[in-house]
């Protein structure tokens, strides 16, 4: 552990603020690993003065970065991707040490950073506008995209670096500076990545403050970012309550938001489904990251004709699950992020029982150092249970049945959240209907693949209480830029649109 931290530049006590210089004059926090309860290191967080200096420096960096040609900006991001490649193993380990993710998932998250850097490099040469046909002679009508400003990125513990990179890599090629407020539960990963960003920027001549870091809690950093009129866009990942508070504040000053909030993701298993594929996807979706993904599978809606088989297959998978140290590559599920997370899942299991649900397997807390481990819980539930409509952020999976396809879709959509969804079927009509306007109401709808594990090439995000934001691929780059429509008259006349004639008297010219 000490070797990994040393390679990544993590000391026993670390500054949690970076804007070209490292400092931190606020409260000190200790990072305790959920793996075994050991202290990894400490971090000095931001004070009010640190905050103000950092935002000023980010604006200074933006003023220079925005006039740097986009392909040149892309070169810095290209080198960042290569630097992340060189440190993939070490970064994957620190993700695991801080979050408890199994090492394969930790390294997979670093790969997401690498992939989005690759995507952003290409995007740097494709920040396209449009040429539009004007109704007026000798006029050119066009639109173009300009850098937006300083972008705040608020990330959650469960993906401590990937979600930052979705925003930061694209924002960088778009000409923006980013200010990153990571979760206080994963400070060391953020510091390690920011140190890599600093080194790359110094090598390319970019101002390192384009990747500013502000470690702190909601009061000292989070709320300030939402309030700050100097920040035109706030991208926030977290709970629905957090998102509502941030959105009200930012929109109250007419700023923009990208929100990635709750998910209560369901997977439908149809009679024609490949049941081996379906159960494998359910198992990973429900147990991966100890059920702490926003895309985790939380509800399984199974046709009654295949429900007994699916139940047997899932029970066998759950009973064979290897729980333990996530740094051991044989481990399938590690700890939850902290003791409170386990308490919260235990509370949800009790609520399920109180409403009439049945635990089929698991749910017990495990007596392991750190007190962050539990067996994943497989249970029955009904669509109208309050707890089933609530997102429990942990390894709690509900099984329920349906008789006809429309009933399955209705059950699927009858929750407040709308992030990701899946159906396993070999019936082309069911598949097409599921991804149609009358099918899944989620931002992501999959056929014959699970709810979890989205690729960076597509836009990521959801509807309803998920927040409506989109990040990562497709045309999400537009969120980090401001659109400008231009009309250029290259004639000696002054015609108005819609053929309006105005002030045609002597000396007034032609309208």
Give catalytic residues, as residue numbers.
260, 294
**Closest Cα to residue 318, out of 308, 307, 333, 330?**
333
Please state, in angstroms and rounded to a whole number, the distance separating the CA atoms of residues 502 and 511.
5
How far is C-alpha 42 from the geometric centre of its chain's CA atoms?
26
Please state, in angstroms and rounded to a whole number, the distance separating the CA atoms of residues 352 and 346.
10
Please state, in angstroms and rounded to a whole number, the distance separating the CA atoms of residues 210 and 202.
11
Residue 342 — left, alpha, or beta (φ > 0 → left; ψ -120 to 50 → alpha)? Answer: alpha
CB contact at 8 A, 301 and 267: yes
Residue 454 — left, alpha, or beta (φ > 0 → left; ψ -120 to 50 → alpha)? Answer: beta
3-state DSSP helix/strand/coil % of the chain, to nearest 5: 40, 20, 40
The SS3 assignment for 14 reads strand
To which residue do tokens 């810095």 refer? 76
CB contact at 8 A, 186 and 157: yes
359 class by beta-carbon count within 10 Å (0-12 exposed, 13-18 middle, 19+ buried) = middle
Please state, in angstroms and rounded to a whole number, the distance separating the CA atoms of residues 355 and 368.
30
Q: What is the dihedral of CA 120, 123, 125, 126, to 10 degrees?
A: -170
Please state, in angstroms and rounded to a whole number, the distance separating the CA atoms of residues 180 and 354.
41
Please state, in angstroms and rounded to a whole number, the distance separating the CA atoms of residues 456 and 212.
23
* Residues linked to residue 14 through DSSP beta bridges, in sequence order: 43
Helix 88-99 and helix 70-86: axis angle, to 10°?
70
To which residue do tokens 């609530």 refer? 390
User: Please, what sign has the CA dihedral across residues 238, 243, 245, 250?
Assistant: positive
């Amino acid at each position: 552990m000490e070797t990994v931290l040393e390679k990544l530049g993590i000391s026993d006590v670390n500054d949690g603020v970076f804007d070209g210089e490292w400092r931190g004059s606020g409260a000190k926090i200790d990072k305790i690993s959920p793996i075994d309860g050991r202290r990894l290191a400490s971090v000095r967080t931001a004070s009010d003065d640190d905050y103000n200096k950092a935002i000023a420096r980010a604006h200074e960096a933006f003023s220079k970065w925005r006039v740097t040609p986009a392909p040149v900006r892309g070169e810095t991001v290209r080198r960042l991707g290569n630097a992340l490649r060189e440190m993939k193993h070490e970064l994957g380990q620190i993700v695991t040490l801080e979050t408890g993710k199994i090492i394969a998932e930790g390294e997979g998250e670093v790969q997401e950073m690498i992939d989005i850097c690759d995507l952003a490099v290409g995007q740097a040469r494709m920040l396209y506008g449009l040429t539009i046909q004007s109704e007026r002679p000798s006029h050119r009508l066009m639109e173009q995209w300009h850098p937006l400003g300083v972008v705040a990125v608020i990330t959650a513990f469960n993906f401590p670096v990937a979600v930052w990179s979705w925003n930061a890599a694209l924002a960088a090629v778009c000409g923006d500076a980013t200010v990153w407020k990571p979760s206080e539960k994963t400070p060391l990963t953020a510091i390690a990545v920011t140190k890599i960003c600093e080194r790359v920027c110094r090598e390319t001549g970019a101002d390192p403050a384009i990747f500013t870091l502000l470690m702190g809690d909601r009061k000292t950093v989070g709320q300030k970012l939402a309030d700050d009129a100097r920040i035109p866009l706030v991208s926030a990942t977290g709970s629905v309550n957090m998102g509502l508070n941030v959105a009200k504040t930012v929109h109250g000053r007419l700023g923009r938001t990208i929100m990635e909030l709750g998910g209560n993701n369901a997977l439908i298993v149809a009679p024609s489904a490949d049941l081996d594929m379906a159960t494998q996807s359910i198992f990973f979706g429900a147990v991966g990251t100890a059920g702490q993904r926003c895309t985790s599978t939380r509800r399984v809606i199974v046709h009654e004709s295949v429900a007994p088989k699916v139940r047997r297959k899932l029970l066998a998978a759950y009973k064979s699950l290897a729980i333990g140290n996530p740094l051991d590559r044989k481990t399938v599920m590690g700890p939850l992020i902290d003791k409170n997370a386990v308490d919260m899942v235990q509370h949800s299991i009790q609520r399920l029982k109180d409403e009439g649900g049945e635990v089929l397997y698991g749910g017990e807390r495990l007596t392991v150092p750190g007190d962050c481990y539990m067996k994943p819980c497989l249970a029955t539930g009904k669509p109208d249970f309050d707890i089933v409509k609530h997102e429990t952020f942990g390894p709690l999976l509900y099984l329920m049945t349906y008789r006809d396809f429309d009933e399955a879709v209705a059950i699927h959509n009858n929750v407040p959240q709308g992030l990701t969804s899946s159906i396993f079927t070999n019936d082309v009509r069911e598949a097409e209907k599921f991804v149609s306007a009358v099918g899944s109401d989620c931002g992501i709808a999959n056929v014959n693949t699970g709810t979890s594990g989205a690729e960076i090439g597509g836009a990521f995000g959801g509807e309803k209480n998920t927040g409506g934001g989109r990040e990562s691929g497709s045309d999400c780059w537009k969120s980090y830029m401001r659109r400008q429509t231009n009309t250029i008259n290259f004639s000696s006349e002054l015609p108005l649109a819609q053929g309006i004639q105005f002030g045609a008297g002597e000396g007034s010219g032609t309208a």
